[in-house]
Amino acid sequence: DTQTFYAGGTRTLDLASGSVVINEGGADADFRVEAVGNANMLVVDAGSAHVNIGTATDYDAVLNVLSTDNGKTLSLVSTDTDANAGPVLALTRQSSSSAADGDVLGRVDFEGLNDANQQVAYGRMQTFIRDASDGTEDGTVQINHIIAGTERVALELDNDEYVFNNAG
C-alpha cells in the first residue's frame, strides 16, 4: 500500500507491528517509526539535526541511542570470510584545512553520574597527532582515568617511549 504525503500536516500509517508518524512542515519536520508499546523507536529530527534510536530525548549528540538494559547497545558485524580485518570502526577527523601537530584525532569517554548527579568522564582514550609532516607522521595514544577527582594519564604511547603512571 502506498500513500503520498503533502507538507503541512501529520500523517500516521498504522501497521500490524507499529506505526509510522510523519510530521511534515519544512525545516522542523521529523520522521518517527513507533513500535507498539515502545514509542519513538526511530526519530529523525530535521529541526534539531539529530537522530534518536530508542528515545525521543536529544542527549546533546547528533546520534542518540538509548538502551534500557545491560545487553549490547551497538554491534558492528561483517560477514566477509577473507583474511582481512572486518568489521572496522574508524574515528576519522577530516577537515578542509591542514592537519597540525597536537590535533586530537578522536576520543572515547567513559561517563557516568557521581553522587551529586553530575556527568563525569571516569575514563578516556584519545589519540593526538604528534607530527603531521608527510612521510614522518607520529601519533600519541593516551588512556586517562580519574583519581581523587582529577584526570590523570595512566598510559601514554608516544613516538619514542611508552609511559605508565606518569602522574604518579
Tell me how far apart the alpha carbons of residues 39 and 73 are, in angstroms, rounded to a whole number: 18
Q: What is the pLDDT of residue 40?
A: 59
Residue 125 above 90 pLDDT?
A: yes
Q: With beta carbons less than 8 A apart as the criterion, state whether 157 and 141 touch.
A: yes
Q: Between 142 and 34, whose confidence is greater?
A: 142
Q: Between 21 and 130, whose confidence is greater?
A: 130
Residue 160 above 80 pLDDT?
A: yes
Q: What is the mean pLDDT of the chain?
A: 81
Q: Could you report the per-residue pLDDT of 42-90, keeping only the tens digit for each?
A: 777 777 788 888 887 888 889 989 888 898 888 999 999 999 998 999 9
Q: Between 114 and 18, whose confidence is greater?
A: 114
Q: What is the pLDDT of residue 101?
A: 92
Tell me how far apart the alpha carbons of residues 56 and 45 are, in angstroms, rounded to a whole number: 9
Q: What is the pLDDT of residue 6?
A: 47
For residue 3, what pLDDT band results from cuts at 50, 70 and 90? very low
> What residue ranges in 37-103 does DSSP mark as E strands?
38-45, 50-53, 63-65
